[in-house]
Structure 1
Amino acid sequence: MSPIEARIAAVYPELTAQERRGTDTLLEHLDDLAIYSSAELSKLSGVSRPTLSRLYKRLGYESFAALRSEARRDRGIPLGPNHGVEAHIAQETRNIAQLARLADGRLQAAVRSIVSANDLFIIGERSSYPVALHLRQQLIQLRPKVHVLPLPGQTLGEDLVSIGPGDTVVLIGLRRRTSGFARLLRQCTHSRAETVLIADNTGRRYEPEVTHFLPCSLDASGPFNSYTAAMSLVAMVANEASTVVGVQGQRRVGLITTSYHDLNEIEGS
């Protein structure tokens, strides 16, 4: 976690709704703060400049310039608005490099919950759904009872009632979440299941409500989000889970490989 992220996390529960909007915008643009002014951040976030000025001071900075200087020191000179191949690769590299922060024990703790759950539910909507599907495809090779929700064309209500103590819910909450995401998350937490939230920094507002929070960056050099780091995080979770389950997981992988062969489902199996 960068110094700016740590300062935000320390005061986030005490911020007003407008201040939280401002911090969410800051978190979204940590990698390219150098190309923005405080006025532009005000426009991006929909938060007034005086409110942002108060926010910078609550975070311990005399001004936006001081905050931006810290971002530069932490991350190096940010890229300008260059949408070429080199800019794209550089941004993807930075997104993935940020995942190294999860080696502080957060990844391992979340994976222990995932591996030990009675039933594992993975929920993702909109752009989070492909990530949820991929995570399920990886984890079903290591353990049984891995469910992805919602099923195509279905609602969630009938499946959520099956979740309870001893289960784990992995919520994929990448930005531009549905308007009902907060209600969905709270229903999962009220079920007394453990909850793992995989989200970009705009999901940090939900961190106090979940058991485990695994952040990943969607920042891109162009106008569209990048999901490279999210998919890389899925690989990290799956590889760590493989280590935790050990021989038992290897046996399951062997049985699945045999099933592929018997059904002739996979080329070269």
Structure 2
Amino acid sequence: MPCLKLVRHARTRRNDMKKETEPLDARLLKVYDQLSATDRRLADVVIARKKDLLAYSATELAGLAGASKASAARFFQRLGYAGFSDFRQQVRAQVSQQSPLARIGRTPARPSESASLQAHVQNDVARLGSLLDGLTQDVLEQALELLVRARRVWIVGYRNGCMTAFYASALLSQVRHDVNLLNELSGREAEILADLNDKDVLLAVDFRRRTSRLPRIVAAARSTGARVLLLTDTPLSALASQAAAILHCPSQTEQVFDSYVSAVSLMNYLATSMAARTRKQARARMSRIESLHAALGDLETDS
């Protein structure tokens, strides 16, 4: 019996430790549908201000949600925190862990090369598998409709979203006209955004570590009537309320650097699906592009 008690105690302790380190997004996602109207307002405030949570007191968050301080205290306890102070401590820890600098200390000092590469590949395979779990056919259909029917497609992604944004621009511009990368505008965003309207689509890539610039670009695009297609690594993005469709694409990892293999795969799928859906137009455009490559002589001939 004493052994059984020790096993139960160890299991309870492991569960408590797991709960302590569970990300805020995961906690909110588990309970959101069961929350009261007041708690949903608090949840929405927390989501919208996720990047700046450490700057707010419990009273300030409650005021923004139109709730009492007591309601806010119960809300954080419902999420599994001991109280608001515990919530702040864990948010502070999770924010610091987003940095590659924080994660580098948790990697093995000298793993064998084969074991290290094998684990890396297996992690990416698992990430690709979770991509299937997070996307429904309806969501993919919405995304394709937005990209195919738009007058113009604008793409933006900063920091960790930059690579995926460039890749999306490179692929989509081959299968349709008027694909533009906002990253390359060198401070001319205002002049370009002024021309957007409700026939345009903005593909926004929202990956951690997030910048304060992206929400402003998305809000400016929405103010013109443009629709937003959001590609994000979190199921509870602060930009979700402004999006016509959301593509959830997991990237977060316990490795030093986050992996974007699923984002690259998803953009490849979308571009391929667009080419199949608009076969005649896509073929004509790609044929013109190939003719221009031949005229320019800018590509090496495969041997």
Q: When the two structures are superposed, what TM-score results if normalisation uses the length of structure 2?
A: 0.64
Structure 1 residues 248 and 19, CA gap change in structure 2 (3 angstroms): closer
Within-5 A mapping of 1:87-126: 87-100=119-132, 101-126=134-159
Q: Which structure has the larger Rg?
A: 2
2:181 to 142, 145, 148: 148
Structure 1 residues 161 and 248, CA gap change in structure 2 (3 angstroms): same
Alpha-carbon distance in 2 for matches of 1:107, 1:256: 27
* 1:161 aligned partner, one-letter code: A
2:258 to 202, 214, 225: 225
* 1:95 aligned partner, one-letter code: R
Question: What is the percent sequence identity of the aligned residues?
Answer: 21
Deviation at residue 106 of structure 1 after TM alignment: 0.7
Alpha-carbon distance in 2 for matches of 1:152, 1:113: 23
Deviation at residue 15 of structure 1 after TM alignment: 3.5
Verify: 1:54 aligned to 2:78, yes or no. Answer: yes
**Counterpart in 2 of 1:71?**
none
Within-5 A mapping of 1:152-231: 153-201=186-234, 204-231=237-264
What's the C-alpha RMSD, in Å, of the aligned pairs? 3.1
| Equivalent residues of 1:196, 1:213 under 8 A apart | yes
Verify: 1:14 aligned to 2:41, yes or no. Answer: yes
Alpha-carbon distance in 2 for matches of 1:99, 1:135: 17
Alpha-carbon distance in 2 for matches of 1:173, 1:128: 6
Deviation at residue 13 of structure 1 after TM alignment: 4.8
2:171 to 138, 145, 150: 138
Quick check: 188-197 or 146-155, which moved more? Answer: 146-155
Deviation at residue 5 of structure 1 after TM alignment: 8.1
Alpha-carbon distance in 2 for matches of 1:90, 1:82: 16
Structure 1 residues 176 and 82, CA gap change in structure 2 (3 angstroms): closer
The SS at the match of 2:230 is: strand
Higher relative contact order (CA 8 A, sep 6+): 1
| Equivalent residues of 2:47, 2:236 under 8 A apart | no
Alpha-carbon distance in 1 for matches of 2:248, 2:220: 21
Alpha-carbon distance in 2 for matches of 1:146, 1:13: 37
**Counterpart in 2 of 1:127?**
160
Unpaired segments of 5 or more residues in structure 2? 1-25, 52-72, 82-105, 109-115
Structure 1 residues 172 and 9, CA gap change in structure 2 (3 angstroms): farther
CA deviations over 1:50-106 (Å, ceiling 9, x no partner): 86542149xxxxxxxxxxxxxxxxxxxxxxx77622321222112111222424221
Alpha-carbon distance in 1 for matches of 2:146, 2:214: 22
| Equivalent residues of 2:107, 2:256 under 8 A apart | no
| Equivalent residues of 1:167, 1:194 under 8 A apart | yes
Structure 1 residues 245 and 5, CA gap change in structure 2 (3 angstroms): farther
Structure 1 residues 17 and 5, CA gap change in structure 2 (3 angstroms): closer
Q: When the two structures are superposed, what TM-score results if normalisation uses the length of structure 1?
A: 0.71
CA deviations over 1:157-195 (Å, ceiling 9, x no partner): 222111111111111111112113222222211211111
The SS at the match of 1:118 is: coil
* 1:127 aligned partner, one-letter code: N
Aligned pair count?
221
* 1:132 aligned partner, one-letter code: A
Moved over 6 A (4+): 21-24
